[in-house]
């Protein structure tokens, strides 16, 4: 593989203040060359501001941005050599597909023959051969997405920034594009920073995920670690579909939930604690079952909602707290699906009984 | 499926009744537009009550008529170009500014609209004349020793007309520019385009429809301008409208006036026909 033009990115103590509002407060982040990093957070968490600062569209109040070893903090976007894919693609509507992709090359005065060859190559990379002469208005959402991607990679940028690029697509296309993006990332060995509020998207594609909340970086980890070991109450509630309940610490590996005692992996922190009960880790079980690896809860079914591949059950535990769990809706399960108002017994694995600080 | 023909039949009768409803308005508008025009056509081909081509012959043969037509087109083109140059930055600023500033800028552009053209023209006279504000200030500052010839000439006509015309190009331009998503400029920059490159390749082509609409408006309005060139031109810049006025006021030659007015109309229509053929409007706008 030829030496990659993609570089590492380093963000040091970034602060961005609008009037009195801290959009970013002291964010530091290191992204390795060739890494796919997602920035995950709710709207207003500062994730888009971070992208804007890395892209050079807005300057930080303080802090530094490095590409490789180069300080680019004061460099305007046209000198940063970054491929940006915008939320609404930001394709030029008055140009054809090929002209859009050639735009960054022409801005760099690349010769005509070279330009044509690289445009053709970029079209091949995103599987859009033969679409060069199409006007932008004639493309579907997925095709626009591909063209925007081709335009962002054709000039061999140092990194690729993506701002929720798939949010306008319908679910099936979005999932297909996620896998394609993942493959493209592997093939190009590209450094990609991907902003999203969709946790599943982040989990699907990323090498690592940086979770942001209220202008702060809360946790940066690999998808599995993020899901299995959330750093705090916010991450646990944002990733997955968890019910968070306040618990008391009874021992190193024991917590009290209402009247029940649950076993957990190591609980090292003191102070306010919550158990994060992920809906898909809670299973129905028989009254008689008693396994050493399981925690058991008893409750009453208050609500059942059919949601296609699964049923979402709203269960009230004996002490009055409500939790959500999912029951797969295939026919093997149909017999055991409880009825409204019936008492049920639930179990979850000790390792899935995750405790986070509040 | 059986309801389909019934439904379309109902739609057809509805369309017919709509047509009937707006027919009176259509007839009224047609009358207002075409009746006077028809009268002009008839007049222009009459001399002392009989059919005659004498008025058109005069336009073609007499140099002074020709030169007035040429001057009118030249002044209108210059006013259009200057209005576009001055109006574009204003419209761009209004389109990119915050809500408050957009409102302020557009209000400032609108303000002259609420003053009569006559008052504004005399205002320019006060500013530009030999002992006007501009000349006295420059002389007091010692920059010039003799007053500049700013009024009663071509320059004064241009200044006065551009002042009246700028709003007509600012508003269509503002409408076109504010429709361009700001991400497009960001995208252009991130792809390596300098500000001027992005302006030339993205902003200008995308605002071309607004620019074209505004320019056409200004050009057409300029062709028929009477008051400003008459008052500020000092008799040196005579427009077609003045020619029409003189024929009527001084010589009561309605036939001659009609033929001049109609000739201007034909010339304008011819220009637009050519422009429509030559300029790839659809390509500029990026549709079709």
Residue A295: name the closest of A244, A253, A239 by CA: A253
User: How many whole angstroms separate alpha carbon A132 and alpha carbon A193?
Assistant: 27
Give the mean model confidence (pLDDT) for residues A152-176. 90
Instruction: Give me the pLDDT at residue B252, please.
Output: 79
Nearest to B197 among A84, A107, A161 (CB): A107
CB contact under 8 A, A77 and B181: no
pTM higher than 0.90: no
Q: Is the ipTM of this complex over 0.85?
A: no
CATH 3.40.50.300 residue ranges for chain A = 9-228
CATH dotted code for A241-357: 2.40.50.100
Instruction: Find the CB nearest B184 among A77, A92, A155.
Output: A92
Q: What beta strand segments (E) does A122-191 contain? A: 159-163
Phi and psi of A328, rounded to 5°? -60, 145
Q: What number is the average pLDDT over the span A232-243?
A: 88
Burial of A14 per CB tally in 10 Å (0-12, 13-18, 19+): buried
Residue A331 has pLDDT above 80, yes or no: yes
CA distances from B164 to A30, B156, B169 (A): 58, 13, 10
Of B181, B187, B286, the CB nearest to A135: B286
Residues of chain B with pLDDT under 50: 284-288
Closest partner residue to A78 (CB to CB) among B193, B205, B286 is B193
A165 at B interface, C-beta within 8 A: no
* pLDDT surpasses 80 at A358: no
Residues in chain B closer than 8 A to A155 (CB atoms): 191-192
Of A206, A221, A218, the closest CA to residue A34 belongs to A206
Least confident of A25-34, A97-106, A210-219, B247-256: B247-256
Interface of A with B in 42-71 (CB under 8 A): 55-57
Residue of chain A with shortest Cα separation from B184:
A90
Using an 8 Å CB-CB cutoff, list chain A residues near B287.
Answer: 137
Of B191, B206, B284, which is closest to A107 when you measure between CB atoms?
A: B191
A176–chain B Cβ distance below 8 A for any pair: no
Please report the residues numbered 80 through 139 in chain A whose beta carbons come closer than 8 angstroms to any beta carbon of chain B.
80-84, 86-88, 90-95, 103-104, 106-108, 135-137
Residue B98 makes CB contacts below 8 A (sequence gap 6+) with none
Looking at residue A34, what DSSP letter applies?
T
Output the six-digit token pair for A299: 């409750």
CA nearest to A56 within chain B: B190
For chain A, where do the domains classified as CATH 2.40.50.100 start and end?
A: 241-357
Report d(CA A94, CA B282) in Å as an integer.
Answer: 10
Looking at CA atoms only, how far is residue B211 from chain A in angstroms? 15
The pLDDT value given to residue B2: 55
Q: Which residue of B has its CA nearest to A153?
A: B191
Kindly list the domain boundaries of chain B, sorted by start residue. Answer: 62-113+165-285
How many of the other CB atoms lie within 10 Å of CB of A312?
15
**Which chain A residues touch B176 with a CB distance below 8 Å?**
none
Residue B187 is nearest to which of A81, A90, A106, comparing CB atoms? A90
User: Across residues A156-160, what is the average pLDDT?
Assistant: 92
pLDDT at B66: 87
Question: What is the predicted pLDDT for the residue at B9?
Answer: 87
- Helix segments in A27-94, DSSP class H: 47-55
Instruction: Verify whether the Cβ–Cβ distance A94 to B189 is below 8 Å.
Output: no
Condensed to tens digits (0 to 9), the pLDDT of residues A240-276 reads: 888 899 888 888 888 888 778 888 887 777 788 899 9
Tell me: pLDDT of A140 over 70.
yes
pLDDT band at A36 (very low <50, low <70, confident <90, very high): very high
CB of B26 within 8 Å of any CB in chain A? no
| Per-residue confidence (pLDDT) for residue B286, from 0 to 100 | 46
Quick: pLDDT tens for A275-304: 998 888 898 888 888 888 899 998 999 999
CA distance A190 to A81: 13
Q: What single string gives the DSSP state of each residue in A275-339?
A: EEEEGGG-EEE-SS---TTEEEEEEEEEEEEE-SSEEEEEEEETTS-EEEEEEE-SHHHHTTPPP
Taking the C-alpha atoms of residue B207 and residue B187, their distance in angstroms, rounded to an integer, is 17
Report the alpha-carbon distance of residue B166 to residue B159 in Å, rounded.
11
A249, with CB counted inside 10 A (0-12, 13-18, 19+), is middle
Q: Are A275 and A247 in contact (CB under 8 A)?
A: yes
Return the CATH architecture of domain B62-113+165-285.
Orthogonal Bundle (1.10)
Task: Find the residue in A nearest to B206 (Cα).
Answer: A94
Q: Would you call B186 and A77 a contact, using CB atoms and an 8 Å cutoff? A: yes
Does residue B36 sit at the A interface (CB-CB below 8 Å)?
A: no
Contact list, A90 vs chain B (CB under 8 Å): 181, 183-184, 186-187
The answer, for A230 touching chain B at a CB cutoff of 8 Å, is no
pLDDT score, position B287? 44
Hey, what CATH topology would domain A9-228 get?
A: Rossmann fold (3.40.50)
B242 beta partners: none
In this predicted model, what pLDDT tens digit does every residue of B141-199 receive, in sequence order?
888 888 888 888 888 899 999 999 999 999 999 999 999 999 999 999 999 999 999 99
Look at residue A2 and tell me whether its pLDDT is greater than 70. Answer: no
């Amino acid at each position: 593989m030829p030496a990659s033009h993609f570089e590492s990115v380093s963000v040091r103590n970034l602060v961005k203040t609008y009037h009195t509002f801290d959009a970013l407060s002291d964010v530091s982040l290191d992204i390795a060359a060739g890494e796919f990093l997602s920035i995950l957070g709710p709207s207003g968490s500062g994730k888009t501001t971070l992208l804007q600062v890395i892209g050079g569209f807005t300057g930080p109040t303080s802090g530094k941005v490095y590409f490789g070893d180069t300080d680019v903090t004061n460099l305007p976007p046209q000198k940063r050599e970054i491929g940006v894919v915008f939320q609404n693609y930001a394709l030029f509507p008055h140009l054809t597909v090929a002209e859009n992709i050639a735009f960054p090359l022409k801005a760099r005065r690349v010769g005509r023959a070279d330009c044509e060859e690289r445009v053709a190559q970029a079209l091949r990379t995103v599987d859009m051969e033969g679409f060069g002469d199409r006007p932008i208005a004639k493309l579907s959402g997925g095709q626009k997405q591909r063209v925007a991607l081709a335009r962002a990679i054709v000039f061999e940028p140092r990194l690729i920034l993506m701002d929720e690029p798939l949010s306008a697509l319908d679910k099936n296309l979005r999932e297909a594009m996620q896998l394609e993006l993942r493959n493209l990332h592997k093939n190009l060995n590209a450094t990609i920073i991907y902003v999203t509020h969709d946790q599943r998207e982040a989990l699907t594609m990323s090498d690592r995920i940086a979770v942001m909340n209220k202008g702060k970086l809360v946790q940066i980890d690999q998808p599995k670690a993020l899901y299995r070991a959330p750093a705090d109450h916010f991450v646990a509630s944002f990733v997955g579909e968890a019910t968070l309940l306040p618990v008391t610490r009874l021992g190193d590996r024991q917590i009290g939930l209402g009247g029940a005692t649950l076993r957990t992996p190591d609980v090292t922190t003191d102070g306010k604690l919550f158990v994060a009960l992920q809906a898909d880790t809670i299973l129905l079980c028989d009254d008689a079952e008693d396994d050493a690896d399981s925690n058991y809860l008893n409750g009453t079914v208050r609500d059942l909602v059919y949601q296609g591949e699964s049923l979402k059950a709203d269960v009230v535990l004996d002490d009055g707290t409500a939790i959500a769990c999912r029951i797969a809706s295939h026919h093997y399960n149909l017999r055991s699906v409880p009825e409204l108002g019936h008492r049920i017994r639930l179990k979850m694995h000790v390792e899935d009984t995750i405790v986070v600080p509040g | 499926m059986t309801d389909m023909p019934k439904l379309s039949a109902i739609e057809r009768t509805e369309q017919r009744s709509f047509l009937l409803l707006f027919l009176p308005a259509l007839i009224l508008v047609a009358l207002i537009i075409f009746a006077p025009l028809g009268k002009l056509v008839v007049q222009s081909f009459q001399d002392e009550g009989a059919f005659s081509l004498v008025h058109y012959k005069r336009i073609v043969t007499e140099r002074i008529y020709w030169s007035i037509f040429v001057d009118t087109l030249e002044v209108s083109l210059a006013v259009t170009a200057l209005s576009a140059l001055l109006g574009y930055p204003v419209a761009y600023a209004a389109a990119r500014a915050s809500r408050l500033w957009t409102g302020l800028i557009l209000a400032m552009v609108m303000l002259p609209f609420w003053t009569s053209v006559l008052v504004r023209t005399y205002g320019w006279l006060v500013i530009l004349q030999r002992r006007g504000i501009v000349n006295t200030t420059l002389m007091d500052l010692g920059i010039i020793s003799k007053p500049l010839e700013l009024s009663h000439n071509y320059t004064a006509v241009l200044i006065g007309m551009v002042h009246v015309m700028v709003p007509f190009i600012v508003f269509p331009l503002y409408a076109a520019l504010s429709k361009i998503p700001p991400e497009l400029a960001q995208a252009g920059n991130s792809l390596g385009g300098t500000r001027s490159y992005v302006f030339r390749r993205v902003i200008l082509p995308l605002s071309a429809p607004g620019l074209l609409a505004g320019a056409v408006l200004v050009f057409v309005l300029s062709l028929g301008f009477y008051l400003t060139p008459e008052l500020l031109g000092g008799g040196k810049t005579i427009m077609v409208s003045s020619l029409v006025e003189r024929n009527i006021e001084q010589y009561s030659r309605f036939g001659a006036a009609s033929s001049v007015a109609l000739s201007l109309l034909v010339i304008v229509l011819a220009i637009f026909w050519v422009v429509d053929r030559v300029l790839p409007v659809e390509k500029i706008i990026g549709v079709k």
